[in-house]
Chain A
Amino acid sequence: MYRYDEFDATFVRQRVAQFREQVARRLEGGLSEDEFKPLRLMNGLYLQLHAYMLRVAIPYGTLSSRQMHKLADISVKYDKGYGHFTTRQNIQFNWPELKDVPDLLDELADVEMHAIQTSGNCIRNVTADHFAGVAVGEVEDPRPVAELIRQWSSLHPEFTFLPRKFKIAVIGTREDRAVMKSHDIGLRIVRNDGGDTGYEVHVGGGLGRTPMVSRLIRAFLPRPDLLNYLEAIIRVYNLIGRRDNKYKARIKILLHETGKQEVTRLVEKEFDQLKKQNDAVSPAEYERIAAYFQDPAYEDTDFNLDAFDEKRKQHPQFNLWLNSSLSEHRQRGYSIVTVSLKPIGGIPGDASAEQMHGVATCAEKFSLSEIRVSHEQNLVLPFVKKQDLFELWQGLKKLDLATPNVGLASDIIACPGMDYCALATARSIPIAQDISNRFADLERQHDVGELKIKISGCINACGHHHVANIGILGLEKKGVEFYQITMGGEAGENTAIGTVIGRGFSGTEVIDAVETLVDTYVELRQENETFASTYSRLGVTPFKEALYATA
Chain B
Amino acid sequence: MQILTANRLVDGDVVFLTGNYDWSIEINDASIARDQTEACRLEDIGTKADKSAHVVGCYLVDVVIVEGRIEATHYREIMRTKGPTVRGDLGKQANVYGSGGLRSGQSPLAAQNHHEVQQEFAHVSL
Interface of A toward B, CB cutoff 8 Å: 26-29, 32-33, 47-52, 75-77, 79-82, 95, 97-99, 343, 346-347, 350-355, 400, 418-420, 427, 429-430, 433, 479-481, 506-508
B84 touches A97 (CB 8 A): no
Cβ of B12 and Cβ of A97 under 8 Å apart?
A: yes
B11 vs chain A, min Cβ distance (A): 4
Q: Which residues of chain A have C-beta atoms less than 8 A from B114's C-beta?
A: 429-430, 433
B125 partner, pick from A47, A77, A351, A507, beta carbons under 8 A: A507
Contact of B126 among A75, A350, A506 (CB under 8 A): A506
Query: Closest chain B residue to A49 by CB distance?
Result: B80
- Provided the pairs A82-B108, A346-B109, A480-B75 are in contact, do residues A99 and B10 lie with their beta carbons within 8 angstroms? yes
A303 to B76: give the CA distance in the assembly, Å. Answer: 55
- Which residue in A50, A79, A400, A429 is a CB contact (below 8 Å) of B12? A50
Closest to B104 in A: A81
A479 to B84, CA, bound (A): 18
Interface SS of A by simple majority = mixed
Q: Give Cα A473–Cα B14 distance, bound, in whole angstroms.
A: 27
Alpha-carbon gap, A79 to B90, bound state (A):
11
CB distance from B115 to the nearest CB of A (A): 9
How far, in whole Å, are A299 and B61 apart by their CA atoms in the complex? 63
Other A-B pairs, 9, CB within 8 Å; known A49-B76, A52-B11: A77-B103, A346-B109, A350-B108, A353-B105, A400-B109, A418-B76, A429-B86, A480-B124, A480-B125
Query: Interface 1/0s, chain B 1-44, versus A by CB < 8 A?
Result: 00000010111111000000000000000000000000000000
Judge whether A427 and B85 touch: CB under 8 Å: yes
The reply to whether A26 and B9 form a contact with Cβ atoms under 8 Å apart is yes
* Contact of A82 with B107 in the complex, beta carbons under 8 Å: yes
Given the known interface contacts A32-B51, A80-B90, the answer about A352 and B107 at a Cβ–Cβ threshold of 8 Å is yes
Q: Is B53 an interface residue (CB 8 A)?
A: yes
| B79 close to A27 (CB less than 8 A) | no
Among B73, B75, B102: residue with most chain A CB under 10 A:
B75
A115 to nearest B CB, angstroms?
16
Given A26-B9, A480-B124, are A50 and B14 also a contact pair (CB < 8 Å)?
A: yes
Per the bound structure, the CA–CA distance linking A349 and B74 in Å amounts to 28
Number of A-B contacts (CB under 8 A): 122
- Interface bracket on B: 35 or more
Contact A33 B10 (CB under 8 A): no
A481 touches B125 (CB 8 A): yes
Known: A27-B53, A347-B108, A479-B74. A419 touches B84 (CB 8 A): yes
Alpha-carbon distance between A506 and B123 when the two chains are bound, in angstroms: 12
Q: Would you list which residues of chain B between 45 and 71 have a CB under 8 Å from chain A?
A: 50-53, 56-57
- Closest residue to B102 on the A side, CB-wise? A80
A349 to chain B minimum Cβ distance, whole angstroms, is: 10
The prevalent SS among residues of B at the interface is loop
Q: Are B103 and A47 in contact (CB under 8 A)?
A: no
A420 contact from B9, B11, B84, Cβ within 8 A: B84
Query: Is the Cβ of A80 less than 8 Å from the Cβ of B103?
Result: yes
Q: What is the CB-to-nearest-CB distance from A83 to chain B, in angstroms, rounded to a whole number?
A: 10
Q: What are the 10 tightest A-B residue pairs by CB atom distance, in nearest-first order?
A: A507-B126, A81-B105, A29-B53, A352-B107, A419-B84, A97-B11, A51-B12, A52-B12, A350-B108, A429-B86
Measured between alpha carbons, how far is A307 from B31 in the docked complex, in Å?
71
9 contacts between A and B (CB under 8 A): A27-B9, A49-B76, A80-B106, A81-B107, A95-B90, A98-B11, A400-B107, A430-B126, A508-B125
Complex formed: what's the CA distance from A405 to B25 in Å?
A: 41
Contact residue among B14, B79, B91, B106 (Cβ-Cβ distance under 8 Å from A418):
B79
Q: How far is the CA of A138 from the CA of B50 in the complex (A)?
A: 53
Determine the residue in chain A with the shortest Cβ distance to B74: A479
Enumerate B79-126 residues with CB–CB distance to A below 8 Å.
79-80, 83-87, 90-92, 102-109, 114, 118, 124-126
For B106, give the chain A residue with the smallest CB separation: A81
Q: Which residues of A contact B106 (CB under 8 A)?
A: 80-81, 352
Q: Nearest Cβ in chain A — how far from B89, in angstroms?
A: 9
Given A346-B109, A506-B126, A81 and B84 touching (CB < 8 A)? no
Min CB gap B36→A, angstroms: 21
Chain B residue nearest to A482 in the complex (CB):
B125
Q: Cα distance A49–B76 when bound, in Å?
A: 9
Bound-state Cα–Cα, A346 to B51, Å: 40
Q: Are B12 and A76 closer than 8 Å at their CB atoms? A: no
> Do the beta carbons of B103 and A76 come within 8 Å of each other?
yes
Closest to A98 in B: B10
Most buried by A among B7, B79, B91, B108: B108
CA distance A502 to B92 in the complex (A): 38
Tell me which residues across on chain B come within 8 A of A353, comparing CB atoms: 105
> Which residues of the partner chain A approach B52 to less than 8 Å between Cβ atoms?
29
